[in-house]
Amino acid sequence: MKTILSLSSWPLIFFSGLLLTCFAFASERPMLGFALVYAGEVLLLLLLERHIPYERRWLLPDGETANSIAHTLLTKGLVQLLALLGAIFPMLAAMVLQPLAGARFDLWPAALPMFLQVAMAVVIAELGLYWSHRIAHERLFFWRFHALHHSVVRLWVINTGRFHIADSLFKVALSQIPLYLMGAPLQVFWWLGAVTAFMGILTHCNVDMRTGVFDYIFSTPRLHRWHHSKDIREGNTNYGENVVVFDLLFGTYFNPDRPSSTDIGIRGEIAKGFLGQLAQPFSKEGVRQILGRSTKNG
């Protein structure tokens, strides 16, 4: 039974989530419907984490659960709300500022089936997600914010949304502005958010999933565990958030034939409290702590 669950759990959760989202978005209350679908998928992953965990040590409390939930609700959630408002605003602006703004919003192939529009949006957004993620690892100014996400010492579904608000805003700007400028309809943004949401909880879950061929298309738990490795040669790889096309294209794909790393975390230290974690990247001492540099050593 455990082998069957390991082989089937990834496609089951991802594709069932998308199928149920179809019904949610077609309902009178699409956002409420999607929230219920998402909550059900999270609950299912929590159950699987207990039944077939990838790393049993990650089942133990790390003292960061409340902070991770707070970051998910109060930072990533807020950014997604702002992004949704941002998706609506350009459409309204296009109506008011015609024909000047209209030329900017006629690029999207709205006649295509929604499935193809969503697939195209995922790839276009992924280019921005890839580079924002890669820059956050390769440039210290951006790492100071992104380090919060990598500071966890265990991966599980609850710390999926543990991002600094500045980090999330940077990712949203690079990934969604091109879609705004092309004039993608609001429903495409809904679907992009749904795909990213399901992929997020899957990549961070502590479930022993065997993903096989999916590792060469999507960002999977196996690939993302390598990305969280403390070893920088392993950690500075697999930047894809939803798909791995740009990792393959730009040479950052990493998938060796051995179990993915469980030695995760960062060299430095992150502040203990939620507000302290938000403020830490904005002070010199906070940055020193994040980078693992003591005041004496400079």
How does pLDDT run along the chain (298 residues), one tens digit per residue? 788 999 999 999 999 999 999 999 999 998 889 989 998 999 999 999 999 999 999 988 777 777 777 766 666 555 555 544 444 444 444 444 444 444 455 789 999 999 999 999 999 999 999 999 999 999 999 999 999 999 999 998 888 888 898 998 899 889 988 998 898 988 999 999 899 999 999 999 999 999 999 999 999 999 999 999 999 999 999 999 999 999 999 999 999 999 999 999 998 999 988 899 999 999 999 999 999 875 444 3
**Token couple for 119:** 């697939």
So what's the pLDDT on residue 186? 86
CB 75 within 8 A of CB 168: yes
So what's the pLDDT on residue 297? 40
For the whole model, what pTM was predicted? Answer: 0.86
Q: Which residues pair with 243 in a beta bridge?
A: 218
So what's the pLDDT on residue 128? 96
So what's the pLDDT on residue 71? 67
So what's the pLDDT on residue 72? 65
So what's the pLDDT on residue 88? 46
Long-range contacts of 128-131 (CB under 8 A, 24+ apart): 128/171, 128/173, 128/174, 128/175, 128/176, 128/177, 128/178, 129/171, 129/174, 129/175, 129/239, 129/240, 129/241, 129/242, 130/239, 130/240, 130/241, 130/246, 130/247, 130/250, 131/174, 131/246
So what's the pLDDT on residue 270? 93
- 218: helix, coil or strand? strand
Residue 81 to residues 49, 74, 128, 179, 275: CA-CA distances in angstroms? 29, 11, 19, 16, 20
Q: Which residues pair with 229 in a beta bridge?
A: 264
Nearest one of 204, 181, 266, 249 to 72, comparing CA atoms:
204
So what's the pLDDT on residue 172? 86
Asked if the peptide bond before residue 99 counts as cis, ω within 30 degrees of 0, the response is yes
So what's the pLDDT on residue 59? 85
* C-alpha count within 13 angstroms, C-beta hemisphere, residue 296: 0
Nearest one of 245, 227, 244, 224 to 236, comparing CA atoms:
227
Domain boundaries defined on the chain: 2-291
> How many angstroms separate the CA atoms of 177 and 164, rounded?
20
Nearest one of 283, 286, 80, 238 to 169, comparing CA atoms:
80
Report helix angle 284-291 to 140-150, nearest 10.
60
> How many angstroms separate the CA atoms of 161 and 11, rounded?
21
So what's the pLDDT on residue 226? 97
So what's the pLDDT on residue 176? 87
